[in-house]
Structure 1
């Protein structure tokens, strides 16, 4: 029932806003001018053509093709290819993401229940609805971009892993890569942590408390009880599916499919050591959950945690600040698209905040460091150190090679971060909900009702994340 509630609530805002967007902006916009024609080629049965400007694999187009075929099965079976291709309009293709947004909301609810078994279903329902309002995810629900489908595939993979359906998780991970290359990192992250959890559960079943004096090894009878202990076949299943994921990632890292290798537009997506991207992600994610991260209680908790060992705490702060200053000074990239495209909010953040004065990028470093220390501290309350460390490494593998500052790149790690953060009180969630709604109203109003024009290029331009 709760899943239905989440799906219905998401549908109640997604469908009306989608209708409004398609009425005011009926033609493909921004990256849609590449994605929509490519998907329409697939609808015509032309799987050989590839637009050289597209930088992601064709997973979204296959999903759209299956989606349109499910809407109009008669034409598909009748092989009315020409008529079928006409149904792949911009509006229909955009609605693919509406479906994925609804599925994604259900997956978020399931993850909340799986990760926090003691959480009430009412709270999980509320939290899932609020997370679906996360501004960047919410905005791209209404355009034909890969982000919503990518997030949905990764979360589905995670749900399957937590439910110990490892082969399904591996297959979903493979398809997630077919939507976006960098999902290979999250596939290995999920597989590795699934393997660790599996091993820990096995250890707990073999080593059980005998009495209050300590923990002793049980008799061999325990090992013979197939109902209590996972079998060798189960171990092999976990190892094989994990090895598939690891092999996939190794291919990406060794250059066969670089994590930032783009099928097209290679000159605009050259892999670069963009360490400052990690700093930006930390601050943006903390700001997106400001009631949790930016409050006196959290600041005091960090202060006391460093105060327990002043020497080590001071050293950690010094190292973090050094890394932060080094990152923004030597490894901060101003991509040509960032400097030239005033349709993106990052254009204004870069010019009006980060570059407003030569000192500003250095003055922001303490905020970056505070954000990351808070993220690690809050995650550490819910997950073990290996999980937190592997999350940080995964974020680095995804974000550091990306030369362009794009809030869309932060969506998947942000969801992992928030799903594993212990936020339980209604007041903070309602505050976050209010902030998200306000931001969404602002960004959609700017997109739909504040168009502008360029002197050097025809067409209507609109503000976008």
Structure 2
């Protein structure tokens, strides 16, 4: 009850009105400009209903984050852990002493500069811990906004790539995805503390949104090129490792985009080598190799056009190289404890982390693996169906899987790095993960390769739109044609018509297109570069890899798997992309109400994901606030000055 009263005291009517105003603004301006439109009809403006629902979602997020911040201010009023460095440094900047620097801080001063601007704009007299923490609360709301826009633009670009009509408005899937990204436990937890991670994620998402708009135009303008450079610099001012995402990932995506557009503009007789970039759910090991080779060759054949598109990213890389040369290293301070090291085991740890946090998204694959294990393995290895059903392709895919397992065993045996910070600080959950698994025994450490492999399969299968749960017939062009006709027939069914105003509200069914092979490979490469150079295993380092993975996960359609997995269908019945006929009550006109239509088009996995994140957040917040402890020596004497210690990510 004391916590409830603390929330009520620190959320007066003025704060509630402020949150309502912010939610209204975000809800009203959620749908972004998508560059060139891929729809023949002009999108209708959002109705009052959609703006109301969007506003309610952002308001709920604001209230949850505000309650968390109020509790932190109540029970942890003084700077805690890394805040001991960040808050005094920000307060130093607020006093206009910009050349005073704490050598223990390793990250650039972007957050501190932003804090100065925020306090100047709102005429706040002091940079208190509470006011500084509030910046991350606002960044959490804006992260939901930016993530929704990014997912919406991804759906538009995928539709353009496949020659399909794009969504007229922001889809429920995109909107819900944005909210869940902000509820991601590692992000939401630090929305109540003054850390760099939340604002860093927001800035990278803004840069990603700019990238998605750039590839929607025939040729970016010089102003947009300069804007890209500025956003890249802003991302680097937050965290140095952001260079991989704004240079390698976004720059690589733009290079592939320009190569694809060059081929589409060429005459058939001029296309000596076609860019091989199939959807991820139709690609095997040989497709990955062909994709990499054709990208390299076509880039060498069109260097001028590629450089014209990606020069802003090259400029960002050049500026970063100049910084490293000037600074004598990547990190700003405490260089002795942050030495870049090849740590390949990071690419094994990422998959259980994804499986834990994204468990609701992985459930269809888990169900498929549980009820149809043989077919599940066959689908993952492309042994039984698809374009890669030849004996050679099956052998290649099986060999690549076995090779990955052998390499994983070698990495565990020879490249498991235990950073001193991991074992020296029992306030972090990772301390206990290592203590009870990796450090338990060498045999247990090696046996974990099976868990790494299975979690990787689940995550990859989910990213490829659950190919393990799709019937063989769906892989043929005729099946695609039948599926298209089926959708058209569903649209002609009077009982399946959306309620009047639903299309005006939001695009309820985003295009069920899959991530391309090149995008998945670029994500994998960027994730590897950002992780394997870090000797310390820190959950916060996995935020951006998870966020970009989450944005690429397509909506799940229960109708596509109903013929192959009755168990999955029983669990998921409905969901994104299902027809509306025969479900729910309809009005006298034979049309479902707008709320029933919304209910039918919501991806059930996302609802479970929201609940799962709320549960994880509630547990970790409770443990942080109400389960403190003290460090004691062997003789029982209090250590660290008797300060309270708390568990956290």
Please give the TM-score of this superposition, normalised by the length of structure 2: 0.62
**Counterpart in the other structure of 2:356:** 287
Question: What corresponds to 2:211 in structure 1?
Answer: 161
Q: 1:71 to 1:354 in 2, by over 3 A?
A: same
Which stretch of structure 1 is more off in the superposition, 46-55 or 122-131? Answer: 122-131
Please give the alpha-carbon distance, in whole angstroms, between the structure 1 residues aligned to 2:516 and 2:119: 43
Shift of 1:312: 1.6
Query: How far did residue 178 of structure 1 move?
Result: 0.8
What is the CA–CA distance in structure 2 between the aligned matches of 1:444 and 1:281, rounded to whole Å? 23
| Shift, 1:305, TM fit | 3.5
Shift, 1:234, TM fit: 9.8
CA distance in 2, matches of 1:423, 1:350: 34
Who wins on radius of gyration, i.e. which is larger? 2
**Which residue number corresponds to residue 313 of structure 2?**
242
Question: Does the alignment pair 1:88 with 2:127?
Answer: yes
Consecutive unaligned residues of structure 2, counting only runs of 5 or more, are 1-26, 31-53, 157-165, 215-223, 270-303, 384-388, 466-513, 557-574, 576-602, 633-638
Corresponding residue number in structure 2 for 1:437: 614
- The 1-side partners of 2:76 and 2:137 are apart by 16
Structure 2 CA distance for partners of 1:234 and 1:324, relative to 1, 3 Å: closer
Tell me which residue corresponds to 1:7. 58
Q: 1:399 to 1:27 in 2, by over 3 A?
A: same
Structure 1 residues 60-69 or 388-397, which shifts more?
A: 388-397
Alignment: residue pair count: 428
1:132-164 CA-partner distances (Å, limit 9, x unpaired):
111101101111000001100110000011111
Superposed CA deviations along residues 22-78 of structure 1, whole A, max 9, x for unmatched, are 111110000000000000100011011110110101111011111111110xx7xxx
For 1:452, what is the secondary structure of its paired residue? Answer: coil
Query: Could you say what secondary structure the match of 2:183 adopts?
Result: coil
In the alignment, what sits opposite 1:276? 345
Shift of residue 391, structure 1, vs aligned partner? 1.4
* Partner residue, 1:303: 378
Residues 224-271 of structure 1: per-residue CA shift (max 9 Å, x gap): xxxxxxxxx99876343132134245557x86668x832111121111
Q: CA deviation at 1:14?
A: 1.1
Contact residue 143 and residue 178 of structure 2 kept, 8 A: no
Deviations 1:304-362 (A, max 9, x none): 24124442232112111111111111111111111011100001111122223332211
CA distance in 2, matches of 1:310, 1:239: 37
CA RMSD of aligned residues (A): 2.5
Comparing 387-396 and 338-347, the one that deviates more: 387-396
For the residues of structure 2 that align with 1:286 and 1:417, how far apart are their CA atoms? 12
Structure 2 counterpart SS, 1:30: coil
Q: 141-150 or 262-271: which moved more?
A: 262-271
Structure 2 CA distance for partners of 1:178 and 1:302, relative to 1, 3 Å: farther
Where do residues 25-424 of structure 1 align in structure 2 (5 Å cutoff)? 25-72=76-123, 84=125, 87-117=126-156, 118=166, 121-164=171-214, 165-188=224-247, 189-206=249-266, 238-248=309-319, 261-293=330-362, 295-297=366-368, 300-306=375-381, 307=383, 308=389, 309-380=393-464, 382-424=514-556
Taking a change above 3 Å as real, the CA distance of residues 49 and 249 of structure 1, as seen in their structure-2 partners, is closer
Q: CA deviation at 1:288?
A: 1.4
- CA–CA distance in 2 between the matches of 1:16 and 1:377? 37
Report the Cα distance in structure 1 between the residues aligned to 2:455 and 2:148, rounded to whole angstroms. 26
Partner of 1:81: none
Distance across 2 between alignment mates of 1:344 and 1:384 = 37
CA distance in 2, matches of 1:319, 1:295: 23
The answer as to whether partners of 2:251 and 2:310 remain within 8 angstroms in 1 is no
Q: Once structures 1 and 2 are overlaid, which stretch shifts more, 152-161 or 455-464? A: 455-464
Q: What CA distance in whole angstroms lies between the structure 1 residues aligned with 2:549 and 2:199?
A: 19
Change (3 A) 1:409 1:206: same
